[in-house]
Amino acid sequence: MATVAIGDIHGNFLALNDLLGRVLPTLEAEDVLVFLGDYIDRGPDSRGCLERIVRLKQEARHQVVTLIGNHEHWMLRSLRDPTRHSWILGMEAFETIASYSPDAAGCLRRELECVGIRLITERVRIPYEIFFDLLPPDHLAFFESLRPFHRAEGVICVHAGVELEGRALDSQDLEVLIWGPDGFPDSYCGQDAVVYGHCDNSVEDENGWPHLCVKGNRTFGVDTISKGVLTALRFPDRKVLQSGRFMCGGAPVGLTKPVQRRSQQHI
């Protein structure tokens, strides 16, 4: 049985669709596909990414596990408490909102402009329902069902990291799992291999192509999406699969020619 972990997506639908086209044909019914979180924000098509993954979870013959990232965590916090604004202030959330409704994004921008500095100095309520009421029910159910981690044979899958000593996962704080503890991954000394996203710590080769961050303590960082590339790592054989390059910044996504490179080396 194989476990395939896919790193942060951040609204880059073209990279997601390209990578899935390479990964899905390799999976058997007993295999598990794990998404490590951060599906939304930054990129232009968070809605398209959600629709693709929700449909995959409904139709796939293999198990699809979806983990929570810090971006989804802060978005849900604003859903439950409209006086909490870290998502909209610090996560490039307007890209997500606009992917569902440019009008909703414009309306919320005007709300923030009217509130001004009081957004930080006071517990001001912002009508986030302008956005959340637009979410299809299956998208909202997707967000609310996200898991904190997935343990497979030989590897822990998590968004950002685990406690350095490798304490039992069920007893670890969600903040640690979605933000990573100080010293991770370099000072990790647990017994399990860990595959994680979040950190944007890819290693670029001489051609500027992003590769995994692999440490001698069996930690594997697969967050390469800031370079326009989405990365998957398969266990137990540690085969790497990557999308072509689809940049979301600078030239509009979809007009940037993807690099037709397929990374399938083993590490």
β-pair type (193-196, 155-158): parallel
Are 88 and 78 a contacting pair, CB within 8 Å? yes
Residues 6 or more apart in contact with residue 190 via CB below 8 angstroms: 162, 163, 164, 165, 166
Are 147 and 174 a contacting pair, CB within 8 Å? no
Task: Give dist(CA 232, CA 224) in Å, integer.
Answer: 10
State residue 267's pLDDT score: 75
Long-range contacts of 127-133 (CB under 8 A, 24+ apart): 127/82, 128/78, 128/79, 128/82, 128/88, 129/82, 130/104, 131/97, 131/100, 131/101, 131/104, 131/105, 132/79
State residue 25's pLDDT score: 97
State residue 256's pLDDT score: 39
**CATH superfamily for domain 3-69+146-242:** Metallo-dependent phosphatases (3.60.21.10)
* Model pTM above 0.85: yes
DSSP character at residue 2:
-
Query: Taking the C-alpha atoms of 46, 51, 52 and 53 in order, what is their torsion angle to the nearest 10 degrees?
Result: 90
Alpha carbon 160 to its chain centroid, in Å, reads 10
State residue 248's pLDDT score: 80
Residues 17-64 pLDDT 10s: 999 999 999 999 999 999 999 999 999 999 999 999 999 999 999 999
Alpha carbon 86 to its chain centroid, in Å, reads 17
Where along the chain do its domains lie? 3-69+146-242
What phi and psi values does residue 204 have, to the nearest 5 degrees?
A: -90, 140
Which structure tokens are listed for 235?
Answer: 């266990």
State residue 154's pLDDT score: 87
Give, in order, the Cα–Cα distances in Å from 14 to each of 45, 73, 128, 260.
9, 24, 28, 13
pLDDT in tens, the chain (267 residues): 999 999 999 999 999 999 999 999 999 999 999 999 999 999 999 999 999 999 999 999 999 999 999 999 999 999 999 999 999 999 999 999 999 999 999 999 999 999 999 999 999 999 999 999 999 999 999 999 999 999 998 899 999 999 999 889 999 999 999 999 999 999 999 999 999 999 999 999 999 999 999 999 999 999 999 999 999 999 999 999 999 999 985 433 433 334 444 445 777
Task: Give dist(CA 195, CA 217) in Å, integer.
Answer: 11
Alpha carbon 262 to its chain centroid, in Å, reads 21
Residues 196-206 pLDDT 10s: 999 999 999 99
